[in-house]
């Protein structure tokens, strides 16, 4: 009891004692470390955007050697396809297999060398590549990308590790969500001048199909004219033309002649001269509904200038045909501008003729892609084939084929024709891998006879989702060995 009394007396004396002025050296102002992860300013997306990039930004006042995150997003709006680092890390891993969740890990200090400096300051450490859901919601839609803490784990799932080993977690680690606006498209405004459904929109759309121009992100969204959630198709172009001319009074709409790369063909007069030619290819189509339009992309090896004429077949009288040739890519668009036609039953649509006056062996020509529209501007299915009859001036010597793997075009946008040659018949597999060595698509798997075969990779993964722009490796495995081809996808 006595000790408590003495302690209380000393405290009372200290409180009542006069203060003493003590000269202390100037102390530096208090500095608070900052650790912040964010997704930049508000971002804008559009329905159907095939490659929407979300940055992962950091602001660290002290060096950080590891970042572990679980991100949350709305899977009904966004579909992540790839995470890519913006700098070199010793370890960069992620998992997007669970809808609505993205797990990612960034580490800079793993052995062995080389030494990787820690993360410090303001920078973008990685990018998330997403597809935006193709259908329009009917209004501007605000969605978010934020952070998720798994309630099943006894620790926080979002944290950073400093160079000295200290773990930084919220609230010391500021986690700022990202805001994403998905804009409602202005359908029919293809030239993006705020005035939809006009002749300028039809010309811009037409030039896109002929390879004369490219769409920006907003034009791509506006191009889904028939609202079928598939952008920039031949059926959208036909729907646009029908809307401009009016469904009740369909009149011929004259599009401008393609002068820079192609030739305008509007009649079938030349087709009569092509019939029975030994140096021609005819495209045969069978359609259950009247065709309002068709779009073809061909891969032509060798000199495309050897193509001297392309004309409508007599069965396609009343349609108009346009074509362009550039970098061994032949694009052909056939449009029925009047809407007065019938279905095509195993009939010729158009014919391609070559000039073989130099007695050269004919170039290879393959159909890389084809799409069709009915008269009302909606996508329809049609069977098609390429029927070529060549006049070979000499017998080619027999050669034993070797294992080959080629891709065209390279870089490609949307679709690429992959040709491979097998020296002997057997099972083979052609697969696409990303830069991290992960298989994204089995392009072909099965039996192939000896010789050259061609398959089409449409730039999608095994889940039928479009992959992001970047470098991909096509690898052919067969009993005769393996081949690898580097392809560049540009969107």
Name the pTM for this structure: 0.61
pLDDT in tens, 360-370: 544 567 888 88
Average pLDDT over residues 170-178: 96
Tell me, yes or no, whether 430 lies in a domain: yes
Average pLDDT over residues 280-303: 81
Maximum CA extent, the chain: 126
Q: How far apart are CA 149 and CA 362, in angstroms?
A: 63
What whole-number percentage of the chain has pLDDT above 70? 79
Q: Is the pLDDT of residue 63 over 90?
A: yes
Here the CATH number for the domain that contains residue 341 is 2.60.40.680
Q: Is the pLDDT of residue 120 over 50?
A: yes
Q: How far apart are CA 326 and CA 297, in angstroms?
A: 11
Average pLDDT over residues 434-456: 83
Out of 308-322, 420-434, 474-488, which region has the weakest mean confidence (pLDDT)? 308-322
268 band by pLDDT with thresholds 50, 70 and 90: very low
Tell me, yes or no, whether 78 lies in a domain: yes
* Residue 379 per-residue DSSP state: B
Q: Is the pLDDT of residue 34 over 90?
A: yes
431 and 383 both lie in a single domain: no
355 band by pLDDT with thresholds 50, 70 and 90: low
Query: How much is the mean pLDDT over the chain?
Result: 78
> Could you count the other beta carbons within 10 Å of the beta carbon of residue 267?
13
Q: What is the pLDDT of residue 13?
A: 39
Q: What is the pLDDT of residue 344?
A: 66
Token reading at 464: 């039928």
Tell me, yes or no, whether 123 lies in a domain: yes
414 and 326 both lie in a single domain: no
Q: What is the pLDDT of residue 199?
A: 80
269 and 368 both lie in a single domain: yes
Q: What is the pLDDT of residue 401?
A: 58
Residue 403, burial from CB neighbour count under 10 angstroms (0-12, 13-18, 19+): middle
Q: Is the pLDDT of residue 257 over 80?
A: no
353 and 437 both lie in a single domain: no
Q: Is the pLDDT of residue 301 over 60?
A: yes
Average pLDDT over residues 24-35: 60
42 and 69 both lie in a single domain: yes
pLDDT in tens, 368-408: 888 888 888 888 888 888 887 654 433 333 445 577 888 87
Q: Is the pLDDT of residue 446 over 60?
A: yes
Q: What is the pLDDT of residue 30?
A: 45
Tell me, yes or no, whether 462 lies in a domain: yes
What whole-number percentage of the chain has pLDDT above 90? 26
20 band by pLDDT with thresholds 50, 70 and 90: very low
224 band by pLDDT with thresholds 50, 70 and 90: very high
Helix ranges (DSSP H) in 181-251: 199-209, 217-222, 234-245
362 and 278 both lie in a single domain: yes
Average pLDDT over residues 35-55: 89
Tell me, yes or no, whether 54 lies in a domain: yes
Tell me how many domains the chain contains.
3
371 and 280 both lie in a single domain: yes
380 and 412 both lie in a single domain: no
Indicate the residue among 149, 182, 215 that finishes a domain.
182
Q: What is the pLDDT of residue 404?
A: 81
416 and 360 both lie in a single domain: no
Q: What is the pLDDT of residue 5?
A: 38
Average pLDDT over residues 190-203: 88
355 and 291 both lie in a single domain: yes
pLDDT in tens, 125-136: 999 999 898 888
154 and 275 both lie in a single domain: no
Indicate the residue among 182, 214, 232 that finishes a domain.
182
Show the domain range for 158.
Answer: 35-182
Q: How far apart are CA 259 and CA 261, in angstroms?
A: 6
DSSP string, 120-182: EEEEEEEEEEEEEPSS--SS-EEEEEEE---TTSSS-SSEEEETTS-EE-TTTEEE--EEEEE
Indicate the residue among 344, 368, 390 that finishes a domain.
390
Tell me, yes or no, whether 233 lies in a domain: no
140 band by pLDDT with thresholds 50, 70 and 90: very high
Q: Is the dihedral of CA 296, 469, 437, 80 positive or negative?
A: negative
Tell me, yes or no, whether 326 lies in a domain: yes
Q: What is the pLDDT of residue 305?
A: 54
Highest mean pLDDT among 43-57, 159-173, 274-288, 469-483: 159-173
Query: CB of 322 within 8 A of CB of 262?
Result: yes
Average pLDDT over residues 64-81: 95
Q: How far apart are CA 67 and CA 118, in angstroms?
A: 11
330 and 451 both lie in a single domain: no
Tell me, yes or no, whether 463 lies in a domain: yes
Q: What is the pLDDT of residue 92?
A: 92
Here the CATH number for the domain that contains residue 476 is 2.60.40.4070
Q: What is the pLDDT of residue 375?
A: 84
């Amino acid at each position: 009891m006595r000790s408590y009394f003495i302690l209380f007396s000393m405290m009372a004396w200290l409180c009542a004692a006069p203060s003493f002025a003590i000269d202390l050296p100037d102390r530096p102002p208090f500095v608070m470390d900052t650790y912040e992860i964010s997704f930049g300013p508000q971002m804008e997306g559009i329905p159907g955007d095939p490659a929407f990039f979300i940055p992962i930004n950091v602001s660290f006042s002290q060096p950080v050697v590891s970042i572990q995150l679980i991100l949350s997003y709305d899977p009904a709006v966004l579909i992540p396809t790839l995470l890519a680092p913006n700098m070199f890390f010793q370890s960069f891993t992620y998992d997007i297999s669970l809808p609505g969740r993205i797990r990612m890990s960034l580490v800079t200090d793993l052995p062995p060398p080389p030494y990787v400096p820690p993360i410090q300051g303001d920078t973008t450490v990685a990018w998330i590549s997403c597809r935006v859901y193709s259908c329009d919601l009917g209004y501007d839609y605000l969605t978010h990308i934020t952070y998720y803490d798994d309630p099943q784990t006894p620790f926080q799932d979002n944290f950073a590790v400093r160079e000295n080993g200290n773990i930084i977690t919220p609230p010391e680690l500021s986690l700022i969500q990202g805001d994403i606006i998905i804009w409602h498209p202005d359908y029919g405004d293809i030239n993006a001048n705020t005035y939809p459904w006009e002749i300028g929109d039809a010309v811009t759309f037409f030039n896109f199909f002929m390879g004369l121009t490219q769409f920006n992100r907003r034009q791509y969204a506006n191009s889904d004219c028939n609202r079928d959630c598939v952008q920039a198709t031949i059926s959208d172009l036909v729907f646009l033309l029908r809307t401009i001319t009016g469904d009740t009074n369909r009149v011929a709409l004259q599009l401008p002649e393609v002068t820079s790369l192609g030739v305008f063909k509007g009649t079938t007069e030349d087709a009569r001269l092509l019939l029975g030619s030994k140096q021609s290819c005819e495209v045969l189509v069978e359609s259950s509904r009247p065709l309002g339009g068709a779009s073809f992309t061909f891969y032509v090896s060798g000199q495309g200038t050897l193509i001297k004429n392309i004309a409508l077949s007599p069965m396609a009288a009343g349609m108009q045909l346009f074509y362009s040739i550039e970098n061994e890519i032949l694009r052909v668009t056939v449009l029925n501008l009047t809407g007065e036609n019938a279905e095509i039953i195993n009939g010729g649509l158009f014919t391609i003729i070559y000039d073989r006056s130099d007695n050269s062996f004919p170039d290879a020509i393959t159909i890389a892609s084809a799409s069709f529209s009915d008269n009302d501007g909606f996508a329809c299915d049609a069977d098609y084939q390429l029927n070529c009859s060549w006049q070979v001036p000499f017998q080619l010597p027999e050669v034993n084929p070797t294992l080959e793997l080629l891709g065209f075009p390279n870089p490609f946008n949307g679709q690429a024709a992959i040709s491979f040659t097998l020296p002997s018949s057997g099972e083979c597999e052609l697969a696409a891998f990303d830069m991290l060595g992960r298989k994204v698509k089995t392009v072909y798997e099965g039996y192939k006879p000896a010789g050259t075969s061609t398959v089409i990779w449409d730039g999608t993964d095994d889940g039928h989702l479009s992959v992001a722009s970047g470098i991909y490796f096509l690898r052919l495995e067969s009993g005769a060995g393996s081949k690898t081809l580097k392809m560049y996808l540009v969107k």
